[in-house]
Structure 1
Amino acid sequence: MNDQHPRCRFGLHAGLWTFDWTREAAERVLPEAADYAIEVLEIPIGEVERIDAPHTRALCERHGIEPTASLCLPEGAAAALHPDRASAVLLRALETAHALGSRILTGVTYTTLNWRSGALPTEMEYANIVRALKPVARKAREWDMLVGLEPCNRYETHLLNTGAQAAALIDRLDEPNVFIHLDSYHMHVEEHGLGAGVRAAGERFQYVHLSESDRGLPGSGNLDWGDLFRSMAEAGFSGYLIGEIFAPSTPTIAAALNIWQGGVPSRLDVLEKGVPFLKALARQHGLIPSPAPFHHRVDDRRARDRTELS
């Protein structure tokens, strides 16, 4: 594949630094992300009242970083149980994402993380999800925005575990601006190979979280990264490549995501080792361009002098 015609954008989830997206967080995180040539930053917007969207948007524009926005539905607003509540939460989140300058609202937009019925998904649950998401997708179209659905593993939800299930739900939803958001960590559990998951998602697949099998440093686990990147290249993937690596873990995030062994030692391990590993794979398969010959690398001393962020 000719890397003179790159098609994907590479980024990181802000959870590498913090899940509490305040003005102070934006002012600390965005300059460092720019130092490491991060093109896209996925911003968690579950607590919209804490987000100063115009402030973040201005900083993103200053540092040349594209924002995307994500959330999981909060307790009491799972779409399968409470479709009207879910719609209200998502519409407010969509408004915040739009104010940030994001064209995307994605994540676990259909349920509360770690809620499971204890039974197989029902027709009523899927009907309620469609009811919740339709007005959100239609409002997003008015703003030229996209809405993503992220399948998660069986221990976090019983509703969407695979790319094929997400594709079937999108067919039922029948809104052209809804896409599949895959996550390699969840795919490693649920798909019959990472490449098989990519192929099952098909053309609806536009966004991927790149996360190791144990949510640790990319390349240190047993994920078949070659299969994932090769299959994306063969499928002509042209979406977002987002490293989702959380370090250091806070008690809240550890409980939500079941990270009990500390993830990775620090964000600098991710920035100095994990990000180059993922970018090298993306370049190898023609998904992003090679760096310019005189691309400036951030000074290691400057990076390590930064105050550690939660």
Structure 2
Amino acid sequence: MTVAPRFGIHAGVWGFDWSADAAERTIGAAAAAGYDLIEIPAIDRARSDAGDTARALDRHGIAPAVSLALGTDDDITSADSARRDRGERRLTDAVAFASEIGATFVGGVVFSAMGRYLELPTPAARDRSLAVLRRIAALAEARGITLGVEYVNRYESNLLNTAAQTVAFLDDLGAPNVLLHLDTFHAAIEETSLAAAIDAAGDRLGYIHASESHRGRLGTGTIDWDRFAADLHTAGYTGPITVETFSSTVIGDAAAIDIGLWRPMWADPDELATTTLHFLRTRFAAAAIPTL
């Protein structure tokens, strides 16, 4: 019997406000569109109540995942111990938030800052990242949480840009609850092919961002989604596949500038969510049909 992947969607499709009302609207919209899970960026627990999120998830019957991206001021590769400490606190807080809302996965750019580096990577910086993540992985494991290390393109980290680099990093980390988080937008820039990325990741592949080559609507860029679905089916992947697409008309100027989203990619998040889920289900259903 073929087991289909679980499909999720990033909360940022509806924007990055996470007030109690916004959480209710966003979680309700993702559930109404038919998704199995919603990926929620880690909140500032000193300013927001995780209970609001937990109650909305329970009301709408949808599972959560949590994500974050470290920045320059909390980069755990930094030689500045204060920056590393801030990064470790952010990661610790994200694990706590996940535990409070019933999430069993925390992924994203958890290994370095997400941004353009102006220096070459060094073994010392890599070792500093590994040291922090070993402690975070142990903390997460005690709470039944898996971490995902999302490698990103050369303009958004100098440390991990490919699946092969990430597998080597995970080997050195030595934590059984840490897996590879593959984002098709970044992989399409850095890998020779998405098939090669899937092959390099092997059984470490634990979470996927389905993101178009321009971060817009799936099927309107250069990624061959039929081939990608077929390659994942061949690899036996049954984990989460989470839609990650953003539009400047929804996320606002500050967030658009932060991720370099210089033009609107679509207008209606509810329509986008519904049609994208149909797009993915159609392709993965076709990939599961045996050929004669």
TM-score (structure 1 length as normaliser): 0.87
Letter in 2 for 1:219: G
Aligned identity (percent) is 33
Structure 2 unpaired stretches of 5+? none
Contact kept in structure 2, 1:70 and 1:107, CA below 8 Å: yes
Query: Residue 52 of structure 1: CA displacement?
Result: 2.0
* Match in the other structure for 1:285: 287
2:253 to 251, 254, 266: 251
Deviations 1:123-172 (A, max 9, x none): 00110010110110001111111011101111111111111111110000
Instruction: For residue 99 of structure 1, report the CA deviation from its aligned partner.
Output: 0.4
Equivalents in 2 of 1:219, 1:131: separation in Å? 40
- Asked whether the equivalents of residues 245 and 270 of structure 1 are also in contact (C-alpha less than 8 Å), the reply is no
Question: Is the 2:210–2:242 Cα contact (8 Å) retained in structure 1?
Answer: yes
> May I ask how many residue pairs the two structures share in their alignment?
283
Q: Is the Cα–Cα contact under 8 Å of residues 33 and 270 in structure 2 kept in the other structure?
A: no
Which residue is 2:148 aligned to? Answer: 148
C-alpha distance after superposition, 1:176-235 (max 9, x if no partner) = 000110001111100111111111111111100001111111101111212321111111
Q: 1:99 to 1:193 in 2, by over 3 A?
A: same
Q: Shift of residue 62 of structure 1?
A: 2.0
Instruction: Show the counterpart of 2:92.
Output: 91
In the alignment, the residues of structure 2 paired with residue 164 and residue 46 of structure 1 have an alpha-carbon distance, to the nearest angstrom, of 31
Cα deviation for residue 10 of structure 1 reads 0.6
Quote the residue 1:264 is aligned against: 266
Distance in 2 of aligned mates of 1:51 and 1:199? 40
Larger deviation, residues 246-255 vs 58-67: 246-255
Structure 1 vs Structure 2 CA RMSD: 1.6
State the alpha-carbon separation in 2 of the partners of residues 233 and 274 from structure 1. Answer: 19
1:199, 1:231 within 8 Å by CA — same for their partners in 2?
no
Please give the TM-score of this superposition, normalised by the length of structure 2: 0.92
Contact persistence 1:21–1:45 (CA under 8 A)? no
Structure 2 counterpart of 1:56, from 25, 30, 53: 53
Q: Does 1:127 align with 2:127?
A: yes
Deviation of the 1:55 alpha carbon = 2.0
Shift of 1:47: 3.0
Cα distance in 1, alignment partners of residues 55 and 131 from structure 2: 35
Secondary structure at the counterpart of residue 276 of structure 1: helix
Equivalent residue, structure 2, for 1:241? 241
Amino acid at match of 1:118: E
The 1-side partners of 2:271 and 2:195 are apart by 27
Q: CA 1:101–1:282 in 2, change beyond 3 Å: closer, same or farther?
A: same
Q: 1:149, 1:36 → 2: CA distance? A: 28
1:7: how far off? 4.2
Structure 1 moving runs of 4+ over 4 Å: none
Q: Would you say the 8 A contact 2:216–2:266 is kept in 1?
A: yes
Aligned residue for 1:192, secondary structure, equals coil
Contact 2:29–2:270 (CA<8 Å) still a contact in 1? no
Matches of 1:83 and 1:173 in 2, distance apart?
Answer: 17
Residue 106 of structure 2: aligned partner: 105
Cα contact 2:146–2:177 (8 A) shared by 1: yes
Q: Give unpaired runs (5+ residues) of structure 1.
A: 288-310
Amino acid at match of 1:276: H
Q: CA deviation at 1:46?
A: 4.8
